[in-house]
Amino acid sequence: MGKIEEYTVKRDADRTDLKLNMGPQHPATHGVLRLELDLDGEIIRKCTPHIGYLHRGTEKLGEDRTYISALPLTDRLDYIASMNNNIGYCVAVEKLFGIEAPERAKYIRTMCAELGRISSHLLWLATHALDIGAMTVFLYAFRERAMIMEMFEKLTGARLTVSYPRIGGVRNDVTQEFIDRAHAFADEFPTHMEEYETLIDQNRIWLKRTKGIGIITADEAINWGLSGPMIRGSGIAYDIRKHEPYDAYKDVEFEVPIGTEGDVYDRYRVRMIELRQSALIIKQCVEKLPRGAILDPNAPKFTLPPKERVMTDMESLIHQFVLITKGPMTAQEGEVYVATELPKGEFGYYFVSDGSGKPYRMRLRAPSFVHASVLPLMCEGGLIADVIANIGTLDIVLGECDR
Partner 1 sequence: MEQYSAAEKIYELFSEKALALGIPEPVLVIAAYAIPCLVVINLIQGAAGMLTYAERKISADIQNRIGANRVGPFGLIQFLADGVKLFLKEDIIPDAADRKLFKLAPYIVLSSTVLAAIVVPFGGSFIVADLNIGLIFIIVVSSLLVVGFLMSGWASNNKWALLGGIRSAAQIISYEIPTALSLLCIVLITGTFSLQETVMSQGLWPWQWFIFHNPFSFVAFFIFFVSALAEMNRTPFDFPEAESELVSGYNVEYSGMRFSIFFIAEYGSIFIISGLAAAVFLGGGNIGLDPYESPLHMQLLMVGVFFAKTVPLCLVIIWVRWSMPRLRIDQMLTMCWKYFIPIAFACLVATAIWLLVFNGNGIFWRMPAP
Which of 16, 69, 172, 203 binds partner 1 (CB under 8 A)? It is: 203
Q: Does 388 bind partner 1 (CB under 8 A)?
A: yes
Q: Does 130 bind partner 1 (CB under 8 A)?
A: yes
Residues whose CB is less than 8 angstroms from the CB of residue 225 and which lie 6 or more positions away in sequence, other chains included: 370
Q: Does 132 bind partner 1 (CB under 8 A)?
A: yes
Q: How far is CA 369 from CA 81, 100, 151, 310, 353, in A?
A: 16, 30, 30, 43, 25
| Nearest CB to partner 1, comparing residues 30 and 106 | 30
Residues in the chain: 403
Q: Does 35 bind partner 1 (CB under 8 A)?
A: no
| Nearest CB to partner 1, comparing residues 175 and 198 | 198
At 225, is the secondary structure helix, strand, or coil? Answer: coil
**Separation of alpha carbons 395 and 226, rounded Å:** 12
- Give the closest residue to 401 by CA, choosing from 80, 171, 150: 80
Q: Does 136 bind partner 1 (CB under 8 A)?
A: yes
Q: Which stretch binds partner 1 (CB under 8 A): 8-16, 19-27, 99-107, 115-123?
A: 19-27
CB environment 236-249: b (16+ within 10 A), e (fewer): bebbbbeeeebbbb
Q: Which stretch binds partner 1 (CB under 8 A): 22-30, 65-73, 111-119, 224-232?
A: 22-30
DSSP state of 299: G
Which of 209, 271, 319, 344 binds partner 1 (CB under 8 A)? It is: 209
Q: Does 135 bind partner 1 (CB under 8 A)?
A: yes
Q: Does 265 bind partner 1 (CB under 8 A)?
A: no
- Give the closest residue to 112 by CA, choosing from 88, 84, 90, 93: 84
Q: Does 93 bind partner 1 (CB under 8 A)?
A: no
CB 196, min distance to partner 1, A: 12
CB 269, min distance to partner 1, A: 16
| Nearest CB to partner 1, comparing residues 55 and 208 | 208
Asked if residue 351 lies in contact with residue 336, where contact means CB atoms within 8 angstroms, the answer is: yes
For residues 324-383, which are near partner 1 according to CB under 8 A? 383
For residues 138-157, which are near partner 1 according to CB under 8 A? 138-140, 143
CB 181, min distance to partner 1, A: 20
**Separation of alpha carbons 65 and 73, rounded Å:** 10
Which of 52, 57, 98, 133 binds partner 1 (CB under 8 A)? It is: 133
| Nearest CB to partner 1, comparing residues 178 and 268 | 268
Q: Does 48 bind partner 1 (CB under 8 A)?
A: no
Which of 27, 190, 297, 355 binds partner 1 (CB under 8 A)? It is: 27
Question: 10 Å Cβ neighbour count for 14?
Answer: 9
Question: 10 Å Cβ neighbour count for 22?
Answer: 20
Q: Where are the alpha helices (H) located in 58-201, listed in sequence order?
A: 58-63, 71-75, 82-97, 103-132, 135-156, 176-200
- Give the closest residue to 225 by CA, choosing from 393, 74, 365, 117: 365
Q: Does 15 bind partner 1 (CB under 8 A)?
A: no
Which of 26, 309, 361, 365 binds partner 1 (CB under 8 A)? It is: 26
**Separation of alpha carbons 179 and 289, rounded Å:** 9
Q: Does 200 bind partner 1 (CB under 8 A)?
A: yes
Asked if residue 161 lies in contact with residue 84, where contact means CB atoms within 8 angstroms, the answer is: no
Antiparallel, parallel or unpaired: β 34-40 and 18-22: antiparallel
**Separation of alpha carbons 348 and 400, rounded Å:** 12
Question: 10 Å Cβ neighbour count for 41?
Answer: 12
| Nearest CB to partner 1, comparing residues 110 and 393 | 393
CB 153, min distance to partner 1, A: 21
Residues near partner 1, by CB under 8 A: 18, 20-21, 26-28, 42, 129-136, 138-140, 143, 199-200, 203, 205-206, 208-209, 383-388
